[in-house]
């Protein structure tokens, strides 16, 4: 069973994505145009990305003190992606976009994440950067910066983190001061000089494109020379590596942005990761030190602008984690089907005279493969479902659009974090299926694990996402988001309760839903955030597993319908989906009891542990 068949099944038979073409925004699309986009992405990923994934890892970016060197294959892959038009996939036709639904854009990008997540990093960041400018930039910022990024002429970055400010962005220390008396009259936007250090910046230096458009968070000091404390003082700036004029031509002036060094990472090595010094005078510009930056949006609204696209960005991270898990699943399934080892235990024990069987014959290996299948296909369903909610939010009618937005609020921390944890676990199981060979660099699975290990760390760490879910998302508006989610889950329970073979799962899900609801209340019973949030991560794990069980039940109903109808791609395909759903309900969902136990009792073990006792 190919990845494409599962993707098509989820998009067409489960989500019914074709129905979007009835909306004005997508009216020029059809099932065929959606399929063509996926075909193109699949082909470019297969030809330009997958063959070089290992190369991008072994020949990691290297800095000779002047320039950063990347394999030629990375340049060619990034440019092939740009030529496909995918950088502007969801943008309007009149800015050169394809006006595709978010669901199809994400589905197309899934091929690149599976083929080489690190080589795809440059394009994903560029698309996010330019989309942000389309939402918050001035008309000229859009035509000069965003348009050139969508065209693939320049690539972009997101510069939030600093050496001392990661999870706590209110502590960013980069400063922006007005550049001269006429700073407000620059056509590219109010012009400032930035000084500070940005750490961990992906794609922060390379020569794939002639310019790099950095989007930088910095604080503008008040009249007393001090910045406002907290996130309210943070503003957003466009800081191009090479300065440009209002026609988008390079002026020949190098901006004062210098690469201090590359970070040498566990995985994701094909994407450069940089420490950038802004405004330290390495490249004095227009007579002085200080990187020139143009304000985006209003002063103090930097974080709001940066997080405008947050749901999409986090769904993208989750999908990247899913696809790395998927790549490992495919590799380990292939290996298990070809590796002879061991013999079955018959009633009389093992018969050494018999030939060995392929390891896929062993129940324990099937357990590891089924776990991977349940994690990665379930994760894919989760991300596509969330992407479909993004489409509903942006192009649906009321109240469906508002409801989609509310559901996304609750589901986004899960969409980012669940695959980051469980599709990483899938990668670990893929190594295990390979035995000793999996622990070598002769097989791809160790790289998938290393690449995937990033996802629990960036775009809000696992712990920070957990606190966002329990501390904010499930309690906001009197718990409206969680109530709506519970309503949707209950509808599925109702339907599945009528389906022979699925009623047992429906009952289990009903119990899980009830437990998550009562544990949420119990966690907040004293109203003391410290007590509730001490066990936020087990809460995230339990909620994530409940959501995945829900989606698996819904997918199982679609698979059951396909089985009954004798639909393509055939019986084995649909039975596989039902088996994965059964695995999830029997082996995974029961885990939530342990997680919710400490949540509901506001277990104080971690909170009361003393530093000195370690």
Ligand X SMILES: Cc1cc2nc3c(=O)[nH]c(=O)nc-3n(C[C@H](O)[C@H](O)[C@H](O)COP(=O)(O)OP(=O)(O)OC[C@H]3O[C@@H](n4cnc5c(N)ncnc54)[C@H](O)[C@@H]3O)c2cc1C
> Catalytic amino acids?
459
Determine the Cα–Cα distance for residues 382 and 412; give it in Å rounded to an integer: 10
- x/- mask, ligand X, residues 162-181, rule CB under 6 A, reads ----xx--------------
Shortest distance, position 233 Cβ to ligand X, whole Å: 17
Residue from 342, 463, 517, 529 that binds ligand X (CB under 6 A)? 463
Name the residue nearer to ligand X (CB basis): 538 or 560: 538
* Contacting range for ligand X; rule: CB under 6 A; set: 12-20, 153-161, 275-283, 575-583: 153-161
Q: Which stretch binds ligand X (CB under 6 A): 158-166, 244-252, 402-410, 581-589?
A: 158-166
Contact flag: residue 461 with ligand X (CB under 6 A):
yes
Closest residue to bound ligand X by CB? 166
Using the rule CB under 6 A, give the single segment among 159-167, 310-318, 371-379, 507-515 that binds ligand X. Answer: 159-167
Give, as ranges, the residues between 7 and 46 that touch ligand X (CB under 6 A): none
Cα dihedral 548, 109, 242, 94 sign: negative
Nearer to ligand X, 215 or 484 (CB): 215
Contacts of residue 233, Cβ cutoff 8 Å, sequence gap at least 6 = 219, 220, 227, 300
Question: Coil, strand or helix: which one is 74?
Answer: helix
* Min separation Cβ 198 and ligand X, Å: 7
Q: How far is the CB of 523 from ligand X (least distance, A)?
A: 16
Q: Which residues contact 283 (CB under 8 A, 6 or more apart)?
A: 254, 255, 256, 257, 258
Question: Over the range 453-465, which residues count as b (16 or more CB within 10 Å of their CB) and which as e?
Answer: bbbbeebbebebb
Least distance (Å) between residue 132 CB and ligand X: 13
- Encoded one letter per residue, x for contact with ligand X by CB under 6 A and - for no contact, window 405-444 reads ----------------------------------------
Q: How remote is the C-alpha of 267 from its chain's centroid? A: 16
What burial class does residue 323 get, using C-beta atoms within 10 Å of its C-beta: 0-12 exposed, 13-18 middle, 19+ buried? buried
What whole-number distance in Å separates Cα of residue 146 and Cα of residue 159? 16
Exactly one of 35, 464, 480, 510 binds ligand X (CB under 6 A); which one? 464
How far apart, in Å, are the Cα atoms of 531 and each of 148, 302, 410, 534, 602?
49, 32, 21, 6, 6
The neighbour count for residue 281, using CB atoms within 10 Å, is 14
Q: Which of 82, 381, 454, 506 binds ligand X (CB under 6 A)?
A: 454
| Binds ligand X by CB under 6 A, chosen from 273, 452, 520, 543 | 273
Is 327 a binding residue for ligand X by CB under 6 A? The answer is no
Query: Which is nearer to ligand X, 158 or 578 (by Cβ)?
Result: 158
Classify residue 446 as exposed, middle or buried by CB count within 10 Å of its CB (0-12, 13-18, 19+): buried
* Other residues' Cβ atoms within 10 Å of the Cβ of residue 196: 22
User: In this complex, which beta carbon is closest to ligand X, that of residue 165 or of residue 371?
Assistant: 165
Euclidean distance between CA atoms 609 and 319, whole angstroms:
36
Q: How far is CA 562 from the centre of its chain?
A: 30
Alpha carbons 332 and 373: distance in angstroms, whole number: 11
When the beta carbons of 98 and 119 are compared against ligand X, the nearer one is 119
**Residue 274: enclosing H or E segment and its boundaries?**
strand 273-278
* Residue from the set 74, 161, 412, 535 that interacts with ligand X by CB under 6 A: 161
Name the one range near ligand X by CB under 6 A: 24-32, 76-84, 152-160, 234-242.
152-160
Q: Which of 268, 335, 375, 418 binds ligand X (CB under 6 A)?
A: 268
Residues 184-243 that bind ligand X (CB under 6 A): 200-202
CA-CA-CA-CA torsion for 12, 15, 18, 21, nearest 10 degrees? -170
Count of residues of this chain found to bind ligand X when the rule CB under 6 A is applied: 18
Q: What share of the chain is helix, strand, coil (3-state, %, to 5)?
A: 60, 10, 30
Please identify, using beta-carbon distances, which residue of 38 and 317 lies nearer to ligand X: 317
Q: In this complex, which beta carbon is closest to ligand X, that of residue 53 or of residue 273?
A: 273
List 458, 483, 488, 575, residue binding ligand X (CB under 6 A) = 458
CB of 300 or CB of 463, closer to ligand X: 463
Residue 204: closest CA among 248, 171, 162, 234: 162
Element (H, E) at 135: helix 121-136
Stretch that binds ligand X, among 2-10, 154-162, 280-288, 442-450 (CB under 6 A): 154-162
Output the furthest CA–CA distance in the chain (Å, rounded).
92
Interaction between residue 577 and ligand X (CB under 6 A) = no
Residue number, 167 or 341, with CB nearest to ligand X: 167
Taking the complex as a whole, the smallest distance from the CB of residue 69 to ligand X amounts, in Å, to 19
3-state secondary structure of 479: helix
Tell me the CA distances in angstroms from 477 to 152, 401, 529, one per residue in order.
41, 17, 17
Region binding ligand X by CB under 6 A among candidate stretches 222-230, 454-462, 474-482, 555-563: 454-462
- Encoded one letter per residue, x for contact with ligand X by CB under 6 A and - for no contact, window 525-564 reads ----------------------------------------
Region near ligand X per CB under 6 A, out of 68-76, 297-305, 453-461, 598-606: 453-461
Minimum Å distance from CB 503 to ligand X? 40
Taking contact as CB under 6 A, which single stretch among the options 34-42, 265-273, 363-371, 553-561 is the one that binds ligand X? 265-273
Least distance (Å) from ligand X to the CB of residue 384?
A: 25
What is the smallest separation between the CB atom of 65 and ligand X, expressed in angstroms? 22
In the 3-class helix/strand/coil scheme, how is 411-471 assigned residue by residue? Answer: HHHHHHHHHHHHHHHHHHHHHHHCHHHHHCCCCCHHHHHHHHHHHHCCCCCHHHHHHHHHH
| Residue among 74 and 372 whose Cβ is closer to ligand X | 74
- H runs (alpha helix) in 172-224: none
Q: Which stretches of the chain bind ligand X, using CB under 6 A?
A: 158-161, 166-167, 200-202, 265, 268, 273, 454, 457-458, 461, 463-464
């Amino acid at each position: 069973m190919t990845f494409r068949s599962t993707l098509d099944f989820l998009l067409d038979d489960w989500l019914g994505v074709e129905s979007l073409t009835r909306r004005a925004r997508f009216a020029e699309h059809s099932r065929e145009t959606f399929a063509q986009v996926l075909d193109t992405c699949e082909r470019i990923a297969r030809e330009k990305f997958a063959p070089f994934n290992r190369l991008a890892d072994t020949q990691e970016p290297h800095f000779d003190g002047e320039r950063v060197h990347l394999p030629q294959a990375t340049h060619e892959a990034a440019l092939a992606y740009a030529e496909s038009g995918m950088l502007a996939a969801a943008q309007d036709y009149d800015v050169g976009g394809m006006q595709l639904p978010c669901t199809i854009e994400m589905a197309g990008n899934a091929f690149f994440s599976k083929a080489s997540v690190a080589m795809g990093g440059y394009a994903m960041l560029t698309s996010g950067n330019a989309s942000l400018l389309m939402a918050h930039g001035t008309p000229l910022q859009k035509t000069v910066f965003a348009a050139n990024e969508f065209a693939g002429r320049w690539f972009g970055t997101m510069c939030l983190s600093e050496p001392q400010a990661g999870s706590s962005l209110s502590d960013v220390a980069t400063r922006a001061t007005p550049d001269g008396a006429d700073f407000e009259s620059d056509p590219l936007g109010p012009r400032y000089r930035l000084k500070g250090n940005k750490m961990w910046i992906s794609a922060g230096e390379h020569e794939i494109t002639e310019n790099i458009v950095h989007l930088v968070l910095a604080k503008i000091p008040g009249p007393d020379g001090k910045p406002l404390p907290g996130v309210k003082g943070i503003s957003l700036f466009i800081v191009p590596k090479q300065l440009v004029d209002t026609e988008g031509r390079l002026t020949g002036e190098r901006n004062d942005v210098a690469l201090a060094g590359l970070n040498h990472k566990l995985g994701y090595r094909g994407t450069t990761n940089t420490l950038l010094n802004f405004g330290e005078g390495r490249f004095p510009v227009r007579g002085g030190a200080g990187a020139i930056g143009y304000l985006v949006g209003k002063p103090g609204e930097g974080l709001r602008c940066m997080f405008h696209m947050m749901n999409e960005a986090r769904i993208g991270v989750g999908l990247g984690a899913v696809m790395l898990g998927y790549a490992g699943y495919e590799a380990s399934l292939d290996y298990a089907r070809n590796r002879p080892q061991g013999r079955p235990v018959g009633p009389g024990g093992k018969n050494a005279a018999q030939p060995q069987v392929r390891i896929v014959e062993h129940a324990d290996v099937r357990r590891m493969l089924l776990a991977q299948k349940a994690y990665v296909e379930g994760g894919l369903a989760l991300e596509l479902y969330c992407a479909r909610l993004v489409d509903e939010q942006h192009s649906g009618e009321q109240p469906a659009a508002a409801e989609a937005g509310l559901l996304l609020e609750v589901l986004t921390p899960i969409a980012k974090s669940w695959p980051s944890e469980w599709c990483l676990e899938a990668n670990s199981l893929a190594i295990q299926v390979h035995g000793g060979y999996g622990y070598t660099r002769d097989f791809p699975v160790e790289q998938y694990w290393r690449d995937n290990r990033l996802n629990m760390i960036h775009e809000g760490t696992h712990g920070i996402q957990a606190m966002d879910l329990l501390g904010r998302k499930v309690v906001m508006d009197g718990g409206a988001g969680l109530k709506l989610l519970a309503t949707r889950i209950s509808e599925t329970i109702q339907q599945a309760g009528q389906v022979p073979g699925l009623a047992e799962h429906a009952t289990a899900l009903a119990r899980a839903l009830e437990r998550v609801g009562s544990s949420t209340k119990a966690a907040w019973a004293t109203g003391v955030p410290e007590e509730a949030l001490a066990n936020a991560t087990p809460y995230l794990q339990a909620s994530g597993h409940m959501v995945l069980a829900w989606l698996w039940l819904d997918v199982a109903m679609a698979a059951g319908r396909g089985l009954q109808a004798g639909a393509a791609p055939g019986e084995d395909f649909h039975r596989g989906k039902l088996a994965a759903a059964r695995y999830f309900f029997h082996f995974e969902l029961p885990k939530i009891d342990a997680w919710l136990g400490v949540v509901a009792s506001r277990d104080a073990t971690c909170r009361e542990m003393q530093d000195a006792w370690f």
